[in-house]
Chains A and B, each alone.
Chain A
Amino acid sequence: MIIKSITLYNFRQYKGEHKIEFSMDKDKNVTVILGINTSGKTTLIQAFNWCLYEKCSFKTREVINVEVVKALTINSVKEVSVEVVLIHEEKEYIINRTQSFTKNDSGNVRASRSNINVQFKESTGGMQSIPKLKSGSDQDLYIKETINKILPESLSDYFFFDGERISDINNRGDVVAAVRGLMGLDVISSAMDRLDPSKASSVTSKLSNELDIGNDQKNIKYKTDLEKAKKQLETHQQRKKTAREEIEFFERQKDELTALLLANKDAKENQKRKINLEKDIEIISKNIVSAENRLRNDFSTSAMKFFALPLIKKALLVIDDAKQDAEGIPEMRAKAIEHIIARGYCVCGCDLKKNEGAKENVLHEKSLLPPQHMGTIIRTYKQTYKRFEREALGFDAIIKDDFSNYQNNITLLGEKEDALSAISKQIKGRLDVEKIERDYQKNEKDLKDKRELLIKIMSDIKFTESEIASLEKKIESLTLVSEKNQKLTKSIAYSRAVYEWFKQGYDRQEREVKEHLLESVNNIFEKMYHGRRKVTINEKYQINLITMVGDEATSTDESKGLESVKNFSFISGLVDLARTKARTGSAIESEESINIIGENDELIVSTEAYPLVMDAPFSNVDEIHINNIARIIPEVAEQVILILMKKDWEFAKTALENKIGCSYYIEKNGNSDTNSSIRRT
């Protein structure tokens, strides 16, 4: 950072506008501002502090020039402002703070809140303002942060150095943050914050949270299922092909059979007739056999009776003429009577010997029986004849009927056989239409079955295709997730790698800063101080003086003068380190980005050189120290602004003579304590 100018308007002693343009020459980098007591030297340091940080050691209403306040009329407004123009990281910043003062009806002066604006020049040349917050308690938050990035308020006392008032810098709590900021490590620290894998809100953590774990197993399962489904589809397609071929075959077959049937339509009729004739012949043949049997049976049963009937009739006439029809006991034989007589009693128990006439009666019965008498036989014969006559009755008609039936069947059979013979001759050599029809029907059934099968296969194919599509969709979505995972994994790897690199670079830089600062401060201290003390810096960048007593280092009390030298050394060391880093840092800025990577892949962070603005720097030091300090500070600082009394200048002048870029003199106008002017000399 280099200060280009400061413009004061009605600020304290400086009534009206007063502008100081500081030397920006690299060799003659010292601007000297001389003034007598109460002329407004310290006011210049306060102007910087007020403009940048709204910090001042006097009451608010004392910011404005007393004469201007006095000249205020009722309800009129007067402004006080300080504008600092500085160059930081090759950008020009214009920082302007303004405050209005009004005298009310009662004659009291009221101050408004001060208003700050920060603008910077874009690389394109245009001006851009740092935005103010539209709401919130601190609308100037961004502006304050911007100023703090340029020059931290915590370090402002080091760079706007009030030699009479500077307090013990050991007690400053935020020196660590300030030093880091000055050394450009805050930017790295911010980058680390964004990438730190251990922080939930970091890029790395957010990327990691989006990784889909367990995706691979699902992917494998879906792929296996897809493979199966595809094989199944292939099988279905093959089945479909076969079914179609079979359908085509059966359709061709159908066409052929249809053609055959059409071509053999008459043959079909004949075939039918032939079959009917064959059936008829079979039935008639059976009927003939049946008629033959019946004829034979009827004849054998009644023929003898029928043919014997005339003879029996003649015999009966003879018997009748013989009158031999006395009636004996039917079925009784003469020998049975002889047996009864021989035993002596009748079947009724009558004793044939004792009872008179009994034997005679029995013997009479014997006389009516054959062989002594024919009457019984003739009677039996007559009965047989009558039965024969009954049974023979209608025999001729039956036989005639049977024969007629037989004869008819024989005739019919002959007719049928003739017809069959004729048809057989007709269809001889012709196709079997019935068989064709059966084949046709079977073909129809097969065709129907195959068509139904094809419909089922088509349905299977549709289902499997839908399954494949679904699986492919799932795999596709998983593949997308998988691709996303790959990209995420890669992004995480980069995020981690960048984080690790920043972290290592940060740690190394911080170590180096401490080492360099200690070395630099000690070097400067040695040049400034003519004694045996040394400076140490602890973890919090707090500095201590030690005195070597023998080989032992002991902390020592500090006089005002020694404290000033110590603080000079620390500030000069800090400025020197910043400037050294600014000079050695090889970060190269292109349009797109800055190269922060060194030849050995190390982190290179460039920082800014800072000015030293010193008010009464030599107040507490002797002339030897003045000379020493005056020699050193233009060497370590990029820009030096010395505000001092003429008497101190006498001791420093020789050492600084070749370093003066420009000088100013503060004059009291009319020896007034409230109206000073700044004159370039």
Chain B
Amino acid sequence: MESNNTDEHLINLITLNKLKNRIYTMERDNYKTKKITHSQMVDKIRQLIERIVENDN
């Protein structure tokens, strides 16, 4: 089940899978406690993506 977007050349599968798991984990943790608002979650996920992308270079 791979993404069908046109940016595949930019994507490292290991990094992508790491992101899938990390984002899901963050969401699940917040789902239980609801401590973080939507915009905070958006920021957190963005930071996570940018950090992982940075390390992916």
Contact = CB atoms under 8 A, between A and B. Distances in A.
A497 interface: yes
Interface string A174-205: 00000000000011101101110000011100
Given A594-B24, A601-B2, A206 B56 contact: no
A487 B49 CA distance: 10
A130 B1 contact: no
A197 to B, nearest CB: 10
Interface stretch (A62-70, A430-438, A488-496): A488-496
B53 A187 contact: no
A207 B50 CA distance: 10
A602 interface: yes
A487 B53 contact: yes
Contacts of B49: 203, 207, 491, 494-495, 498
Contacts of B8: 493, 497
Interface residues of A, number: 50
A135 interface: no
A179 B28 CA distance: 16
A493 B50 CA distance: 11
Contacts of A307: none
A493 B15 CA distance: 12
B56 to A, nearest CB: 7
A195 B42 CA distance: 8
A105 interface: no
Contact of A494 (B19, B28, B38): B19
Given A490-B56, A491-B50, A498 B34 contact: no
Contacts of B5: 493, 496-497, 500
Nearest to B1: A601
Nearest to B23: A191
A131 B35 contact: yes
Interface in B18-57: 18-25, 27-28, 30-35, 38-39, 41-42, 45-46, 49-50, 52-54, 56
B26 to A, nearest CB: 8
A596 B24 CA distance: 8
A505 interface: yes
B12 to A, nearest CB: 9
Nearest to A141: B34
B3 A497 contact: yes
Contact of B42 (A130, A206, A487, A502): A206
B1 A194 contact: no
B21 A597 contact: yes
Given A201-B39, A493-B11, A594-B21, A186 B46 contact: no
A195 B45 contact: yes
B42 A201 contact: yes
A556 to B, nearest CB: 40
Interface stretch (A142-150, A252-260, A403-411): A142-150
A249 interface: no
Given A149-B32, A186-B31, A500-B3, A593 B25 contact: yes
Contact of A498 (B23, B25, B33): B23
B32 A146 contact: yes
B41 A194 contact: yes
A508 B1 CA distance: 11
Given A191-B23, A497-B16, A489 B7 contact: yes
B7 A597 contact: no
A191 B7 contact: no
Given A149-B32, A187-B27, A190-B31, A498 B38 contact: no
Contacts of B15: 494
Contacts of B54: 487
**From A203, A487, A494, residue with most partner B Cβ within 10 Å:** A494
B47 to A, nearest CB: 10
B23 A142 contact: no
Nearest to B22: A593
A608 to B, nearest CB: 11
B1 A600 contact: yes
Contacts of B31: 149, 186-187, 190
Given A195-B45, A596-B20, A596-B21, A496 B3 contact: yes
B2 to A, nearest CB: 6
Interface in A468-496: 487, 489-496
A491 B42 contact: no
B54 to A, nearest CB: 7
A593 B24 CA distance: 8
Contacts of A188: 24, 27
A497 B5 CA distance: 7
A194 B45 contact: yes
Contact of B24 (A191, A500, A601): A191
Interface string A119-149: 0100000000011000000000110011001
Given A145-B34, A190-B27, A493-B7, A206 B17 contact: no
A131 B32 CA distance: 12
Contact of A206 (B16, B32, B46, B53): B46
Contact of B34 (A89, A142, A487): A142
A497 B1 CA distance: 10
A356 interface: no
A187 B2 CA distance: 20
B20 A498 contact: yes
Nearest to B44: A194
Interface of B: 1-5, 7-8, 10-11, 15-25, 27-28, 30-35, 38-39, 41-42, 45-46, 49-50, 52-54, 56
Given A194-B38, A497-B11, A596-B24, 17 more contacts: A142-B33, A186-B31, A187-B27, A187-B28, A190-B41, A191-B45, A201-B39, A487-B53, A487-B54, A493-B11, A494-B19, A496-B3, A504-B1, A593-B18, A594-B25, A596-B21, A597-B17
Interface of A: 89, 91, 120, 130-131, 141-142, 145-146, 149, 186-188, 190-191, 193-195, 201-203, 206-207, 487, 489-498, 500-502, 504-505, 508, 592-597, 600-603
14 contacts: A91-B32, A146-B32, A190-B31, A206-B42, A206-B46, A490-B56, A491-B49, A494-B15, A494-B49, A497-B7, A497-B16, A501-B1, A597-B17, A603-B1
